[in-house]
Structure 1
């Protein structure tokens, strides 16, 4: 630091800190919460039990808030007609597929795997209820 003016020496630590803050924030591997579902979000391709689930009641209907590890979230309305779940807000539609005891839901580039139970006659209609 020899040869630097007093002003230059005082600003140097700030420049070092600014350089550190331009790095990408560290995303936790699992969203904070007590209940989790498998998901593949934010460009991930492999499903992992990383998304937290919050259950809320809105006008007598069950809504699932799925929190991503990076802080984003999606809201899903649980349907009672055997179709499973639907996106509760936003412009994207949910594509659903029943796979054994699980309901795979895809919204945009994000995928979620919910435990599901078939309603009586669900095999013929392809319907499932998310728990």
Structure 2
């Protein structure tokens, strides 16, 4: 919620000046909010079949017997465990119940779909086409 408060504050400040909002300034405010949320361990997600993403999910990295595990989710909905791979797939479902479908959605961002949940995670996509 802090993220949206910062953007809202920026919008209020701009409208108070009686001028049209500058798209560059808005983009910078959004980028600052995104960076802050990522630093706080927040990622974008769309859970339970939602079409819209919001930055309410958390991500934590843990060490597992087979390598690094990401625990992603939201406390009132549940969590998913993802195994980080080294073979170019990005991540796979560590829970085994449902497969993870991974696709690149932007520079250094992948979208992971498991069942009705989708998560956007930072990733090294530099070599992917």
**Residue in 1 that maps onto 2:114:** 107
- In the alignment, the residues of structure 1 paired with residue 49 and residue 66 of structure 2 have an alpha-carbon distance, to the nearest angstrom, of 34
- Structure of greater relative contact order (alpha carbons < 8 Å, 6+ residues apart): 1
Matched residue pairs, number?
A: 90
* Structure 1, unpaired ranges of 5+: 1-33, 124-131
Q: 2:123 aligns with which of 96, 116, 121?
A: 116
The structure with more radius of gyration:
1
**Residue in 1 that maps onto 2:84:** 78
Aligned-partner SS, 2:87: coil
CA RMSD of aligned residues (A): 2.0
Which structure shows the bigger proportion of residues in helix conformation? 2
- In the alignment, the residues of structure 1 paired with residue 71 and residue 112 of structure 2 have an alpha-carbon distance, to the nearest angstrom, of 14
Post-superposition Cα deviations, 1:70-119, rounded to whole Å, max 9, x if no partner, equal: 14100000111111001101321111111222101111110111112125
Aligned-partner SS, 1:118: coil
Q: 2:46 aligns with which of 40, 50, 53?
A: 40
For 1:1-131, what aligned pairs fall within 5 Å after superposition?
A: 34-59=40-65, 61-101=67-107, 102-118=109-125, 120=127, 122-123=128-129
- In the alignment, the residues of structure 1 paired with residue 46 and residue 120 of structure 2 have an alpha-carbon distance, to the nearest angstrom, of 9
TM-score (norm 2): 0.62
TM-score (norm 1): 0.61
Post-superposition Cα deviations, 1:41-68, rounded to whole Å, max 9, x if no partner, equal: 1342211111111110012611000131
